[in-house]
Amino acid sequence: MIQTTKKILPGLLLSFLVAAISKVIAIWLPTIGAATIAILLGILLGNTFFKQSFLGAGTKLAESKLLELSIVLLGTTVTFQTIAQMGLNGIAFVVIQMTVTIIGVYYIGRKMGFSKKIGLLMAGGNAVCGSSAIGAIAPEIEADEHEKGQVITLVNLLGTVLMLLLPFIATGLYTSVMPQSALIGGTLQSVGQVVASASMVSPEVVEFATLFKIMRIILLVVVVFSFSKFTEKDRVKSDTHVIATTKKKLPLPWYIIGFIFFCTLNSLVHLPEGISQSAHFVSGWFEITALAAIGLRLDFAKFFKEGLRYLIYALAVGMLQVVLAIILIFIFHI
What tens-digit pLDDT sequence spans the chain (334 residues)?
Answer: 777 778 888 889 999 999 999 989 988 877 667 777 887 888 889 888 888 888 888 888 887 788 778 878 877 877 777 778 788 999 999 999 999 999 999 999 999 999 999 999 999 999 988 777 887 788 888 887 777 777 877 887 788 889 889 999 999 999 999 999 999 999 998 877 888 888 889 889 988 998 899 889 888 878 888 888 888 777 654 354 444 444 445 556 777 788 888 888 888 887 787 887 888 788 778 878 887 887 888 776 766 666 678 889 999 999 999 999 999 999 999 9
CB 121 within 8 A of CB 138: yes
| Sign, CA torsion 47/49/53/55 | negative
Dihedral sign for Cα atoms in the order 73, 46, 205, 32: positive
pTM for the model = 0.75
CB atoms within 10 A of CB 72: 21
Q: Measuring CA to CA, which residue among 273, 211, 194, 204 is closest to residue 83?
A: 211
